[in-house]
Amino acid sequence: MNNGPSGFHNAPFTKGLVITCAIVSVLLGMHGGASACGLSYQAIVRKLHIWRLATSALVFSSTPELVFGLYLLYYFRVFERQIGSNKYSVFVLFSIIFTTCFELIALVVFKDPTSSVLASGPYGLIFSSFIPFYFDIPVSTWFRIFGFRFSNKSFVYLAGLQLLLSSWRRTFVPGLCGIAAGLSYRLNVFGIRRIKFPEQVACRISRLSLLSLPVEPSTVASRGNVTREAVPSYDRQFEQEDAHQEEHNDGLGDGKEEESSSESFEEEDSIVIEEVEHTEEHEEESLTSPLGRSTRQ
């Protein structure tokens, strides 16, 4: 499965996210607090544990979920290389917020005080990333195992299926909510695929992510401008549309400038013609007047 250069080259935001999830999950897991970070109807609606809205998007509740989840987050760094760190951070924020909203709606609609807590972790980001992975990442190789045909993308799907069904209902609901968030992003809900963070904010986020691990000189050199890999991007069409729109607007502006310049030239020509006509009329009047005749004689 070739998803670009190894490591976090040109993927600083993914690096910071993976490190944060790993450290927080391990620390809380050692103290037995990871299982209390998920969302539930009892905790959110009745006890108003609002802090769980943040921890549920970062902390994995078990070791198998941590392993498969970090593997998928690491693999999906290809999308940051594809669309850039700025737009990828918007995608991450959108996926987490929408997944959390869908989970809250599910808890309210199917409220059951006796139900178990939903599994915590960045399920929204992971399973929303499967939408562009399915539509935009091409299959490069095919092979057979025991008569069954597989592609280079099959192992990623199997890892996602393992994560989706690892705790049945606790992980199944967040996974479906993440898929719904990914579909919403692909459908460009609220025009989200055109939104970018200000460059100053994006640069600060990238610098904080790069400081989390030792980086190579090549990575530091590309800190200000993250290079995009040659992978088909379903966000490129919006960038091309924006470029065409800017060219069209520039063409209209040039046309207006040409029209205004031509109008100014026409006005100047008309003024010159009027002055010439006025001088000719003045000369004719001077010649026809008695003073003019006497002067000629």
**249-273 confidence digits (pLDDT tens):** 555 555 555 555 555 555 555 655 6
Is residue 177 scored above 70 in pLDDT? yes
Residue 151 has phi, psi (to 5 degrees) of: -115, 175
Mean pLDDT value across residues 108-132: 84
* Core vs surface per residue 185-206: b (16+ CB within 10 A) or e: bbeeeeebbeeebeeeebbebb
| Residue 199 pLDDT | 76
Give the whole-angstrom CA distance, residue 194 versus residue 167: 36
Provide the percentage of residues in the chain whose pLDDT is more than 70: 65
Mean pLDDT value across residues 115-119: 76
- Chain center to CA of 12: 15
Of the listed ranges 133-137, 143-147, 194-198, 261-265, the one predicted with least confidence: 261-265
The token pair that represents 18 in the structure block? 């993976």
| Residue 295 pLDDT | 40
Of the listed ranges 48-52, 187-191, 198-202, the one predicted with least confidence: 198-202
Residues 122/63/207/189 CA torsion (nearest 10 deg): -10
3-class secondary structure for the chain? CCCCCCCCCCCHHHHHHHHHHHHHHHHHHHCCCHHHCCCCHHHHHHCCCCCHHHHCCCCCCCHHHHHHHHHHHHHCCHHHHHHCHHHHHHHHHHHHHHHHHHHHHHHHHCCCCCCCCCCCCCHHHHHHCHHHHHHHCCCCCEEEECCEEEECCHHHHHHHHHHHCCCCHHHHHHHHHHHHHHHHHHCCHHHHHHCCCCHHHHHHHHHHHHCCCCCCHHHHHCCCCCCCCCCCCCCHHHHHHHHHHHHHHHHHHHHHHHHHHHHHHHHHHHHHHHHHHHHHHHHHHHHHCHHHHHHHC
Of the listed ranges 200-204, 221-225, 235-239, 256-260, the one predicted with least confidence: 221-225
Mean pLDDT, the chain, integer? 76
Is residue 82 scored above 80 in pLDDT? yes
Mean pLDDT value across residues 271-291: 55
91 pLDDT band, cuts 50/70/90, is very high
Of the listed ranges 59-63, 166-170, 181-185, the one predicted with least confidence: 166-170
- Single pTM value for the model: 0.70
Give the whole-angstrom CA distance, residue 151 versus residue 276: 84
Mean pLDDT value across residues 115-126: 86
| Residue 231 pLDDT | 47
The more confident residue out of 68 and 116 is 68
Strand partners, 143: 150
Is residue 211 scored above 60 in pLDDT? no
220 pLDDT band, cuts 50/70/90, is very low
The more confident residue out of 97 and 38 is 97
For residue 178, give the nearest of 67, 72, 63 by alpha carbon.
72
Of the listed ranges 56-65, 224-233, 270-279, the one predicted with least confidence: 224-233
Give the whole-angstrom CA distance, residue 120 versus residue 38: 4
